[in-house]
Structure 1
Amino acid sequence: MDFLLIIAGLVLLLAAGDALVRGAVALSLRLGVPAVIVGATVVAFGTSAPELLISVQAAIEGSPGIALGNVVGSNIANVWLVLGLPALITPIAGCGKDAHRNLWFMLLSTAIFTVLLLPGTIWWWGGLVLIGVTALMVADSIRHSMEMRAINGEASEEIAELEDVDPDMPSWKILGLITASLIGLPLGAQLLIDGARGIASEFGVSETVIGLTLVALGTSLPELATTLMAAIRAQADVAIGNVVGSNIFNVTFIIGAAALVGPMEVPHEILWRDNWIMVAAALTLAPFVLTCRRICRVAGSIFLLLYGAFLVFAVVG
């Protein structure tokens, strides 16, 4: 039954998150918000909505292991699984548009997150620091994108095309999508957390382990599916940018928002083990981006072995 709750929660979260992105993007374009701003804010925040609701709900219910485990485990999975598995199909370019700048943002945000973990509790002011990093990243993304548009003389509307959103979507449909998302997101988060707690209790493992493995893997499935399909179509070169952006939002916006709900005690295993594995995962990506090397099949295989070792270590360690 608990596994069914988790599956139902994940399906509901993914469907509601997609509805939120489509509805919010259509509304923003209808209101005349430039596509570049929509991409840096509405789309980015909307696609992080499922993870956000899980972590905030878990923080409210006093389950920091699920909240932090979801983020740390997702960031590890994003690098070693989401990039490793598609690399077996086709090599993934390690250097794309703005890759260097975004990589440094990811390493900086990971370092700040690590420093905030060290006292053993993330307080409200730490949440503000992380939210501030998110704001800086979004502002920089908007500034850089506008500069590039001015140089290239392009008025790109690729956001609407990418998200399969009709700028002329009827008002009733926009309202319906947003309403459905606002109902589905918290309900899906609650179902997933209840299922995770039940499994933790039934199998005698900590909520942190469930957050690091089952919950984190579930919330990484959309990125994995998208990257796999891109690899099959030989278009996986955008994968690294997606992973880096997701990892930044996870440790800044999501944990920042959860910390504003109340102090988050850091589980011992995350403080002294899993966070450092997350740091190692981020660093393994750096050489490919900084040297513009492709993630080949050998590297992809190593990434998958590292992720498998992490899962085993998290469960039995």
Structure 2
Amino acid sequence: MVSTLSLPLVVALFVLAAGVVAVCGVRMTGLADQLGDRTGLGEAVVGGVLLGLATSLSGTVVSITAALDDRPALAFANGVGGIAAQTAFLALADLLFRRVNMEHAAADLSSVVQAALLCLLLSLPLLAITGPEVALWGIHPVSPVLAVVYVLGVRATAKVREAPMWRPVATRDTRVDAPETAQAGSAGIGALLARFAVLALAMGLAGWVISKTGGRLSDAVGVSETAVGALLTAVTTSLPELITTLAAVRRGALQLAVGGIIGGNCFDVLFLTASDVAYRPGSLYHAIDSDAVFWLVVGLAMTAVLLLGLIVRERRGIAGIGFESVGILGLYALAVTVQTVR
């Protein structure tokens, strides 16, 4: 259907879908913060799991739809490109939080565990790509392993939250996740979850539109699917993460901001599992080009720098932010430059 539309109309649909994603992302932030307080799970866990999953829904639909349309490079690049973009968003939020380096103030062991989990998840597709081309019913063994590791990692994060074996040193700049008390007449957990689900459904539909129009733009403009996936659809479907991160920082929910980005990135790795299942000709990992692998390595490097920042907790560095934010922005700028000049 989209293939028959004129290019201006395709662009208009793309922009409209991006707007839906952005608006829903704003509304989800407040709901996630309330759910973290009402359930007692805290901002880092709810941000990393519930908010991360929901804001990634549109990107999931993009990757699955692209794989079904026999566009493996677009499906893969959309997932790993989104991880790089969202990590860069966290560094941008650090620039706006002028009081102190945000990773210092948002100290939370759950975020450290999730960042380490993300490094592990990103290394598994590299093993699949560089290993022998094997597939069972068209699915590479690494794809289900990714899902299992993700579930085990989420359980470990919750366990760390309940019974931490060590805690970050508190300083005058450390922001503590203090639950808000429920006000009289405020919505219950069930109502909050229902609103959250409606917004997530709208974002999923918008993701389908973005995938269809993104593929059409790649064909019409003559740009590679990897470039479209890493720099267009990935950034567009990552708008909720940008907006929710900035909104969370403005609300003072720093653990929610950091946890939402890292948790969303962990879930985004599962785009590859879903895409591999949807891509029927064979293993997705052996149907992509070197540009897509490049973005996977970029995401891994940016996450490693972030993890170092979460552990070191530098108060201030260049431009009033930590070394990790400077490194993350530098890596992303370099990656975008390399992609555009190829």
Describe the SS at the equivalent of 2:89. coil
Counterpart AA for 1:273: F
Question: 97-106 vs 268-277, which deviates more?
Answer: 268-277
- Root-mean-square deviation over aligned CA pairs: 3.9
String of CA shifts for 1:232-291, please: whole Å, max 9, x gaps. Answer: 56664654333222222111x322222222342442134552222222212222331221
The 1-side partners of 2:152 and 2:39 are apart by: 19
Q: Report the TM-score, using the length of structure 2 for normalisation.
A: 0.71
User: CA, structure 1 residues 225+46, in 2 after alignment: closer, same or farther (shift >3 Å)?
Assistant: closer
- Residue 296 of structure 2 is matched in structure 1 by 275
- 2:241 pairs with one of 213, 223, 241: 223
Tell me the residue number matched to 2:260: 242
Residues 209/250 of structure 1: CA separation in 2 closer, same or farther (3 Å cut): same
Matched, 1:67 2:67: no
TM-superposed CA distance for 1:209, in Å, is: 0.5
* 1:108 maps to which of 81, 102, 120: 120
Deviations 1:178-235 (A, max 9, x none): 46754x3453223111221222122211111100001111122222223334555666
Conserved 8 A contact 2:114-2:262: yes
- What secondary structure, in the 3-state scheme, does the structure 1 residue paired with 2:18 have? helix
Deviates more, 1:185-194 or 1:131-140: 185-194
Distance of 1:48 and 1:9 partners within structure 2? 14
CA distance in 2, matches of 1:176, 1:288: 35
Contact 1:16 1:181 in 2 (8 A): yes
Aligned to 1:135: 151
Whichever residue aligns with residue 97 of structure 1, its letter is D
| Alignment-mate amino acid for residue 273 of structure 2 | G
Shift of the 7–107 alpha-carbon distance from structure 1 to 2, 3 Å rule, reads same
1:153 aligned partner: none
Matched, 1:86 2:97: no
Show the counterpart of 1:6: 14
Matched, 1:97 2:122: no
Aligned residue among 127, 130, 135 for 1:118: 130
Q: CA deviation at 1:140?
A: 1.4
Residue 291 (structure 1) aligned with residue 309 (structure 2): no
Partner of 1:308: 333
Instruction: Tell me if structure 2 keeps the 8 A contact 1:68–1:255.
Output: yes
Among 214, 229, 233, the alignment partner of 1:211 is 229
Deviation at 1:139, TM superposition (A): 1.6
SS at match of 2:103: coil
Cα deviation digits, residues 57-104 of structure 1 (max 9, x gap)? 22222222222111211111122x213322333243335111332222
Kindly, what percent of the aligned residue pairs are identical? 20
Q: Secondary structure at the match of 2:53?
A: helix
Tell me the distance in 1 between the aligned counterparts of 2:154 and 2:30: 20
Distance (whole Å) between structure 2 residues aligned to residue 144 and residue 100 of structure 1? 10
Q: Does 1:198 align with 2:253?
A: no
Q: Distance in 2 between matches of 1:21 and 1:287?
A: 26
The answer to which of 112-121 and 305-314 deviates more is 112-121
**CA–CA distance in structure 1, aligned partners of residues 329 and 22 of structure 2:** 24
1:145 maps to which of 161, 166, 172: 161
Unaligned runs of 5+ residues in structure 1 are 149-155
Change (3 A) 1:296 1:77: farther
Residue pair 1:57, 1:190 contacting (<8 A) in 2 also: yes
CA displacement, residues 110-136 of structure 1 (integer Å, 9 cap, x when unaligned): 212321232478834222011001110
Report the residue type matching 1:293 in the other structure. Answer: E
Q: How many residues align?
A: 299
8 Å contact from structure 1 (residues 25, 43) kept in 2: no
